[in-house]
């Protein structure tokens, strides 16, 4: 019998009227995740990386990220020899780069108006043609059990050397799958944009990926889709590594 998917529920504070009112990190204690996943070798890895179940780890990681507590995720990256990712919730333009992502953030805010987030039906590629090629659209599956790439930008696919369109985030492997899943679920909880920058594994020849995750939903209590601007930093890493 197929297990029922675990639901990631958004947190709405009483009287919330704007994205900044929806969630206060002080209201949510990060689970035991951050207390138990310090820099401790195998304990810093989700069970899935050693063949077990990773659902509980992803749920804990999502709540920790939503509470702006990043020790466990940092440990996961360090255990793989990768730099710690960076996070900026509800970022200002001066907190993100490059300019493409700043323009995308301004576009989202203009489209949102006084709502928590825009309706997916309002997405018009003509409005963000400045970012085409660096855009991913992801559908939320089973309220956060998985996420499907409705659109996977051509420039992302070129830098990554794989096209993920129509696939799910669960097809990724190792640390990146756990990171992507946890961050998307954290946005389901907080319901505001987030900017992240992370170092990919060595087989992906860019120095880092800079991602701006923007939520969309027709019902203001539930996110149905993410628009993600995903711009590689230093895609010439392959050539530099070969020279070294």
- In this prediction, residues 74-86 reach a mean pLDDT of 94
Model pLDDT, residue 82: 95
**pLDDT value at 3 more than 50:** no
The pLDDT of residue 9 is 45
Determine the pLDDT at residue 40: 28
Across all residues in the chain, what is the average pLDDT?
Answer: 78
Give the per-residue pLDDT at 194.
Answer: 98
User: Are the C-beta atoms of 182 and 75 separated by less than 8 Å?
Assistant: no
Tell me the C-alpha to C-alpha distance, in Å, between residue 189 and each of 76, 79, 165, 168. 21, 27, 25, 20
- The string of pLDDT tens digits covering residues 10-60 is 443 333 334 444 444 444 444 433 333 332 233 334 444 333 335 566 778
User: Is the pLDDT assigned to residue 240 strictly greater than 70?
Assistant: no
Confidence of residue 223 (pLDDT cuts 50, 70, 90): very high
What's the pLDDT band for 172 if we cut at 50, 70, 90? confident
Top-confidence residue, 180 or 163: 180
Residue 236 — pLDDT band, cuts 50, 70, 90?
Answer: low
Residue 150 has pLDDT above 90, yes or no: yes
Segment 181-220, tens digit of pLDDT: 999 999 999 999 999 999 998 888 899 999 999 999 998 8
CA distance 173 to 181: 11
Pairing mode of beta strands 194-198, 86-89? antiparallel
Q: How much is the pLDDT for 234?
A: 83
pLDDT of 163 reads 62
What average pLDDT does this structure show over 227-231?
A: 97
Instruction: Express each pLDDT in 91-144 by its tens digit.
Output: 999 999 999 999 999 999 999 999 999 999 999 999 999 999 999 999 999 989
Is the pLDDT at 86 greater than 90? The verdict is: yes
* pLDDT confidence of residue 54: 56
Q: Taking a C-beta distance cutoff of 8 angstroms, is the pair 192, 89 a contact?
A: yes
| DSSP-based three-state secondary structure for 121 | helix
Instruction: Please give the backbone phi and psi of residue 60, each rounded to the nearest 5 degrees, phi first.
Output: -65, -45
pLDDT of residue 205: 83
Q: Collapsing DSSP states into helix, strand and coil, what is residue 25? A: helix
- The DSSP element (H or E) to which 13 belongs, if any, is none
Q: How confident is the model at residue 168 (pLDDT cuts 50, 70, 90)?
A: confident
Residue 216 — φ and ψ, nearest 5°? -135, 145
pTM value is: 0.78
Phi, psi of 233 (to 5 degrees): -105, 130
Report CA 29 to chain centroid distance, whole Å. 20
Q: How far apart are CA 78 and CA 41, in angstroms?
A: 9
């Amino acid at each position: 019998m197929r297990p029922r998917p675990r639901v990631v529920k958004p947190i709405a504070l009483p009287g919330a009227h704007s994205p900044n009112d929806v969630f206060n990190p002080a209201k949510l204690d990060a689970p035991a995740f951050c207390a138990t996943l310090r820099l401790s070798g195998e304990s810093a890895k989700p069970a899935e990386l050693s063949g077990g179940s990773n659902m509980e780890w992803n749920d804990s990681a999502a709540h920790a990220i939503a509470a702006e507590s990043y020790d466990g995720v940092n440990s996961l990256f360090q255990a793989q020899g990768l730099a710690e990712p960076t996070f900026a919730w509800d970022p200002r333009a001066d907190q993100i780069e490059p300019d493409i992502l700043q323009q995308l953030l301004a576009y989202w805010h203009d489209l949102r108006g006084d709502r928590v987030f825009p309706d997916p039906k309002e997405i018009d590629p003509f409005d963000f043609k400045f970012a085409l090629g660096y855009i991913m659209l992801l559908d939320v599956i089973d309220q956060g059990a998985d996420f499907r790439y409705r659109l996977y930008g051509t420039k992302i696919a070129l830098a990554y050397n794989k096209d993920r369109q129509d696939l799910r985030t669960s097809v990724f492997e190792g640390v990146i799958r756990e990171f992507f899943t946890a961050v998307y679920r954290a946005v389901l909880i907080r319901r505001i944009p987030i900017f992240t920058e992370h170092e990919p594994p060595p087989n992906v020849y860019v120095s880092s990926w800079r991602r701006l995750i923007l939520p969309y939903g027709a019902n203001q209590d539930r996110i149905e889709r993410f628009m993600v601007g995903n711009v590689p930093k230093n895609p010439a890493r392959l050539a530099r590594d070969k020279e070294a």
